Amino acid sequence: MTTTLYTAAGSVGLASHIALEEINDTGKLDYDLVLLDMQNNEHRGSNYKAINPKARVPSLIVNETVLTETPAMLVYLAQIAPESSLVLPDDPMQFALIQSFNSYLCSTVHIAHAHKYRGNRWVDDEAALAALTANVPKTMTDCCISLEEHFIEGPWVMGNTFSICDPYLFSIAAWLESNGVDMDQFQKIKNHQEIMLTRNSVKSAMQQLQSG
């Protein structure tokens, strides 16, 4: 089996990258990492669009299959490595809660963040674009309130057990300060960032991004 992750520094690809490193801790999966230069729009070039026509990162290529969308990639990685820290719960409701959290990150929090840098996906008009961007600190703060009050149990998202929610939250939490969120209001997210930074998988992924 060949596995390749296409990702970029500062992107949500970090979630799947950390997940791959979690699996590597058990010595079970070799994978190739391809870092795209998003600042120079490499993800919009014809080479990458031949792989992922959506021109977004990440993409996970397993043999001939191209898998996109972070929640799907995380579940796939957990399913192929049940002996790793990513193991999925057998209980249907526990698994549904994991899906619920990751769906919220994908469909709501990531989109609220995209309004800051990619607002022209939604509006062309300059005044509308400025209004959309100006609202980002508020919408992202609202998302964080929801994460803290309704989702994150602590210390890990699902309580005492690490799960595929944790690399995802860590990747998105890295954007919060630049989105104008006052992190002092969100102690659970801050604690989560701290414990994630102690994991080998996170250290290793971040080192690869820095030296890439």
Q: Which residues bind ligand GSH (CB under 6 A)?
A: 11-12, 43, 55-58, 69-70, 106, 118
CB 78 within 8 A of CB 164: yes
Least separation, in Å, of the C-beta of 73 and ligand GSH?
7
d(CA 26, CA 74): 17
CB 171 within 8 A of CB 105: no
Would you say 56 or 116 has its CB closer to ligand GSH?
Answer: 56
Would you say 59 or 84 has its CB closer to ligand GSH?
Answer: 59
Least separation, in Å, of the C-beta of 83 and ligand GSH?
25
d(CA 94, CA 110): 23
Evaluate the CA torsion angle 38, 9, 21, 188 in order and state its sign.
negative
Would you say 12 or 181 has its CB closer to ligand GSH?
Answer: 12
Q: Which SS3 state, helix, strand or coil, does residue 69 take?
A: coil
Element (H, E) at 95: helix 92-104
Least separation, in Å, of the C-beta of 33 and ligand GSH?
16
Least separation, in Å, of the C-beta of 148 and ligand GSH?
21
Task: Kindly report the number of other CB atoms within 10 A of residue 70's CB atom.
Answer: 26
Q: How many CA atoms lie within 13 A of 71 on its CB side?
A: 15
Would you say 124 or 184 has its CB closer to ligand GSH?
Answer: 124
Least separation, in Å, of the C-beta of 43 and ligand GSH?
6
Task: Note the Cα 110 to chain centre separation in Å.
Answer: 9
34, two tokens: 């391809």
Would you say 113 or 188 has its CB closer to ligand GSH?
Answer: 113
Least separation, in Å, of the C-beta of 16 and ligand GSH?
8
Task: Note the Cα 181 to chain centre separation in Å.
Answer: 18
Would you say 12 or 132 has its CB closer to ligand GSH?
Answer: 12
